[in-house]
Amino acid sequence: MWTWSLNWGEVTPSLIIGSCPMKPGDQRRIKAETGATAVLSLQHDECLAYWGISYGEMQRAGEESGMMMVRFPMRDFNIDAQRRRLPGAIASLANLQNLHHRTYVHCTAGLGRSPLTVLGLLTLIEGLDPEQAIRMIQQARPGAVPAWEAYHGCRADLLRQFRNQIAQHAYGLYMAGINDNALQDWTQAEVEVLRRGLLTQNKRDQ
Which residue ranges make up each domain of the chain?
8-158, 162-195
pLDDT value, residue 28: 96
**Phi and psi at residue 68, to the nearest 5°:** -75, 130
Tens place of pLDDT per residue across the chain (206 aa): 668 999 999 999 999 999 999 999 999 999 999 999 999 999 999 999 999 999 999 999 999 999 999 999 999 999 999 999 999 999 999 999 999 999 999 999 999 999 999 999 999 999 999 999 999 999 999 999 999 999 999 999 999 999 999 999 999 998 998 888 889 999 999 999 999 999 986 544 44
pTM: 0.94
Q: Specify which residues 70 forms β-bridges with.
A: 40
pLDDT value, residue 206: 44
Class of domain 8-158: alpha beta
Q: How far apart are CA 32 and CA 40, in angstroms?
A: 17
Q: How far apart are CA 39 and CA 17, in angstroms?
A: 10
pLDDT value, residue 1: 62
pLDDT value, residue 142: 96
